[in-house]
Amino acid sequence: MKKVYEVPNESKLQQWIDSTFIVSSASDAEELQQSAVPFTQATLYYLPGPSELVFRAHHHTVDGVGVMLFWDSFLHALSAPQTHISFCEEPARLAPAMESVLGYPPEPTPAQAEEAKDLFMSWAGSIPGIGPVSKLGTCPPGHCVNKQLSFSASQTDAIVRACKVKGFSVTSAVQAAHVLTLAQHADPRHKLSQYVTANQFNLRRFLPMPYNSSKYAVSVYYTPLPFKIDLPSSFGVIAHTLNEYYKTSYENNAHALQLKGTFTRVLVAAVQTPEFLAAPVPRDALVSSLGIIEQYVNRTYGSLRVKDITMGIDVIMGTSMLHIYTFHDQLRLVYSYNNAFEEPANIQMYLEKVHGILLKELLL
């Protein structure tokens, strides 16, 4: 896909500002999302009533960690505005592809191309795995909703300490609880013997400065990677399996990093084919961990105080998302879904089940 950046003149610049910075009378971000319309460019909303900012962007232009780094840059600029901002130099600051940053060849070898296809088929040939009851495919999409469940600071601290003792990450523990919740409430009309997903990996830590910083926030430096595990399995087995997978898939693995671009191109091409579009769609929520938000966003910027952060996505095609992160020392789970496909009461139940499983397995 080729994209062209046009350096704006004064008139075009004003048009861009008018169309992408919107002051909204919505009572909060959730109400804004209920009335949101399709957009063509990244858009920033200011909600003066609740004193909230909302950033909407297409996922092919920025990833989750990139959004957090964007907020860091924006809030720094807001707290200490520059007196003069000049345009025309921005093309030099556009983020390069990760392969270019790491010095990998632009074209894969035949062996790498074949390996990327095999990796894709390890996922595509196994989906869908277990998933919740959904009306996907039987009705048009409705509204996009983000449902959040927060743990107390004391519970979060206890969970972190328990995970360290047991030898797996908080992300692995939360996802294991999510898998057990899915297994308890899986649609019996679909495969029940396997959990199949594509987990999200933030690859910025493998990049040199400044590409791993907020200077290149608006970029896509992550990758999905297939994962599956046979069921039934215990919480401990799932958590340890996930932990090993998260620790070893890219750490000290230049081969896997070099394969990332080829795998992405195979994935993008395959999911647009008639055969893939006609196949059953996975119904389980994709899991994405943002870690500790304070790694990217400060709690204060001068006189500005960041009271809360919520990450969500617009779910249109039916694939929900479960974001995991901590902010202000509280573990947060945000389940993004479409209310035409899944019942709000069920989403609340899933989150409460995950909460209960974590407390039972780690704290009781």
Residue range 331-340: mean pLDDT, rounded: 96
Hunting for tokens 């039934």 — which residue is that? 232
Mean pLDDT, the chain, as a whole number?
Answer: 94
At residue 6, the pLDDT reads 82
pLDDT tens per residue, range 249-292: 999 999 999 999 999 999 999 989 999 888 888 899 999 999 99
For the chain, what percent of residues have pLDDT higher than 90? 84
At residue 326, the pLDDT reads 98
pLDDT level of residue 322 (50, 70, 90 thresholds): very high
pLDDT above 80 (res 2): no
At residue 167, the pLDDT reads 98
pLDDT above 80 (res 45): yes
pLDDT tens per residue, range 193-220: 999 999 999 999 999 999 999 999 999 9
At residue 1, the pLDDT reads 62
pLDDT level of residue 327 (50, 70, 90 thresholds): very high
Residue range 41-61: mean pLDDT, rounded: 96
Domain boundaries, the chain: 99-363
At residue 3, the pLDDT reads 72
pLDDT tens per residue, range 64-114: 999 999 999 999 999 999 888 877 888 888 899 999 999 999 899 999 999
CATH architecture of 99-363: 2-Layer Sandwich (3.30)
Q: Is the peptide bond before 232 cis (omega within 30 degrees of 0)?
A: yes
